[in-house]
Chains A and B, each alone.
Chain A
Amino acid sequence: MTDSGLGNVWLVLNVPDNDPGAYQRPYAQVTIAIVGLIALAIVTAGLRLLPAQWRFRGTPLRERTWPAVGASIVVLAVWFSQSVLPYRIPGAVDYSDYPILQILHVEKRGLQFHERCFSVYWQNPYRPISVSFKGSDRQLFQYRFQHNGSSLQLPKTLVERIQAMVESHHEKGQQDVVRPIWNWNADRWYFSGQGFGLRVYGASNGSNPPEEIVDLFRELDGAPRYSETHSELKDVCLGFCYDPLSAMGWLYANHRCFNDGHGLVCR
């Protein structure tokens, strides 16, 4: 049950309802059920061949069926755990624009996540022309969650500030490793952009975000918004797989996985 690079049957359950792709959720559900059944049959056969003297609570183990049921559930669980991380929607989607700057703020309180991300896009070199907002207030153990988006109208001073910030960084920046947040409470900042790399700030690594980034985030948060959109996303891991990179828009399989010549590598 290998990943084709563009997804696997478990990830089909992440496809939003309104996705125009050819991924069929019933096909994935049936495939998963069928694999479970075949595993059950094979383990049952192995169990029935056990010696009669192998007993569990007085009954020969070969006469029981629940170990086979348990084993097939374990097979499905292992397959699931190997297939669903990192979060991705199957398929390849290339965006028309990629942001030159992104700031994501994630607040986690218990089961509740508040994710707010601002992305700055450009058309001509180093001239920010648009800023978009994406955010969600989701909870763990929720399969579906609301994802909100909007565009921002920026004052000229803020545009110039962003432009100056981008122009001041031309070298390749540090790339921090981004992992799903599984702490009970967390407050993390993620900052990425051309020349900046990808930086993670938060209590886990003991670093606080630079004032410049926090200030910019607050100013963007206060800017007037228009063209609000609402979409629905799904996470087959009930919120445990959807990570900060996903919140920054890295949603599709081609954003997260690539073939390095030796096999599939996902980040």
Chain B
Amino acid sequence: MTLTKIIYVVASAACSFFLLSRNLEAGARWSVLLLYWLVVCAVPLLFVFAYPRFLFADSTPQKRRKYAAALHGLGAVTATVLFPILTVPFWKNPVRDLGEAIGVIVVLSVLVLSLVLAASILLKNRDNLLVFAFLLFWPYWLLLALANTGHFFEATPLEAVFYFLCFLSAVLFAFAAGTISYRPTFAHVLMSLHSQDQSAFRGFTRTR
């Protein structure tokens, strides 16, 4: 169980690190990339990893789980639909010309997300805040994907969807890793099903 969890966590980290490294300028230092990944990806993914603990706790009513599944499903689908609309053709990308500002926006978003989650853990009535915090997750992840498409993102709408699903893979890997302890079969099914999205890597692994 622990080994499987480690494998899933490492896959999630690897997947997100890979997507982040793709569009960094040639010659970027690995230490900088690692720091960037720790701030923009590792923290949110850690929260995703921890989310099943709240979601599958005995005290959580079944109805809340259903709502959470519906809301996150809707969040994921909306982000997946919005991504090609916002990135094809590439000049429509709203964060394309923001330059350095996007880094600040992303970091600020993470900080807000982290603060909300920290507050949710500290406060007694943490359930509502956690739900709110995880609803913030999807706009954040969409923003991160938009910021990492590169200046000239040439893709068809379908390819753009696959590209975003690659970003989604890292989230689902982290969620599956967190779910193993509570719903192992569900976690493995989630991993296996999402392997279909790995085909998206084909078109986007270009040699620098």
Contact = CB atoms under 8 A, between A and B. Distances in A.
B93 to A, nearest CB: 22
B202 interface: yes
A37 B208 contact: no
A24 B208 CA distance: 7
A63 B16 CA distance: 27
A38 B3 CA distance: 15
Interface in B1-18: 3-4, 7-8, 10-11, 14-15, 17-18
Contacts of A34: 14-15, 17-18
Contacts of B141: none
A78 interface: no
A210 B141 CA distance: 68
Contact of B188 (A27, A31, A49, A90): A49
A35 interface: yes
Interface stretch (A1-9, A144-152, A230-238, A259-267): A1-9
A35 B192 contact: no
Contacts of B191: 41-42, 44-45
A23 B14 contact: no
Contacts, number: 91
Interface string B18-37: 10010000110010000000
A42 B198 contact: yes
Nearest to B16: A34
A46 interface: yes
Given A26-B30, A27-B21, A48-B4, A40 B11 contact: yes
Contacts of B161: none
A7 B207 CA distance: 6
B21 A44 contact: no
B46 to A, nearest CB: 17
Given A4-B207, A24-B208, A33-B14, A44 B201 contact: no
A11 interface: yes
A38 B191 CA distance: 10
Contact of B189 (A1, A41, A42, A49): A49
B195 interface: yes
A42 B192 contact: yes
Nearest to A1: B205
Most buried by A among B26, B184, B187: B26
Contacts of B173: 41
A65 interface: yes
B38 to A, nearest CB: 16
B124 interface: no
A39 to B, nearest CB: 8
B20 to A, nearest CB: 11
B203 interface: yes
A2 B207 CA distance: 10
B82 to A, nearest CB: 25
A22 interface: yes
A40 to B, nearest CB: 6
Contact of B176 (A4, A6, A35, A45): A45
B205 A31 contact: yes
A11 B192 CA distance: 30
A9 B26 contact: no
B15 A45 contact: no
Nearest to A49: B188
Contact of B203 (A2, A26, A46): A2
Interface in A89-121: 90
Interface of B: 3-4, 7-8, 10-11, 14-15, 17-18, 21, 26-27, 30, 169, 173, 176, 184-185, 187-192, 195, 198, 201-203, 205-208
Interface of A: 1-2, 4, 6-9, 11-12, 22-24, 26-28, 30-31, 33-35, 37-38, 40-42, 44-46, 48-49, 65, 68, 90
Counting from the closest, the 4 A-B pairs by CB-CB distance are A45-B191, A41-B11, A42-B195, A34-B14
Given A7-B207, A27-B21, A48-B4, 18 more contacts: A12-B208, A22-B208, A23-B207, A30-B17, A31-B205, A37-B10, A38-B15, A38-B169, A44-B4, A45-B188, A45-B189, A45-B190, A45-B191, A46-B188, A48-B188, A49-B192, A68-B7, A90-B207
